[in-house]
Amino acid sequence: MTTALHETAEAQACCAPLVAAPISPADADALARTLKALADPARLRLLSLVAAHDGGEACVCDLTDPVGLSQPTVSHHLKVLVDAGLLTRDKRGVWAYYALVPDTLDSVAAALGTQLRS
């Protein structure tokens, strides 16, 4: 299960820097899909809360109060983030625990940034 999720995360890695050369239609589609998952205030807050949580992972039970949304709504947003390869989901006992996939965020940042790193 965890392996399958990591494979999803890898599949999202994209793209060459946007400003270095014209982006291909396929890369533009892939990058836009990940950006759509990110382009929601509640999902940005959830990503940020998961990253800042003790041990770098959090369950839905940790997240509903801070964002002020119902558990089904939070679960929906977390699923979008998992499907986009931005979070992993690990079911342990009653709860599922979510953790950040830093590589996916970093690949988006690298595709958008105009200052190439040395």
Binding residues for a second copy (CB under 8 A): 18-23, 25, 28-29, 31-32, 35-36, 38-42, 44-45, 47-49, 51-52, 66, 100, 102, 105-106, 108-110, 112-115, 117
Nearest residue (CB) to a second copy, 21 versus 94: 21
At position 58, the amino acid (one-letter code) is A
Which tokens sit at 13? 């890695």
Closest alpha carbon to 115 in 17, 14, 16, 13? 17
> Shortest gap between Cβ of 97 and a second copy (angstroms)?
17
Locate tokens 């002020």: which residue? Answer: 68
**CA separation for the pair 23, 90 (Å, rounded):** 34
Nearest residue (CB) to a second copy, 93 versus 118: 118
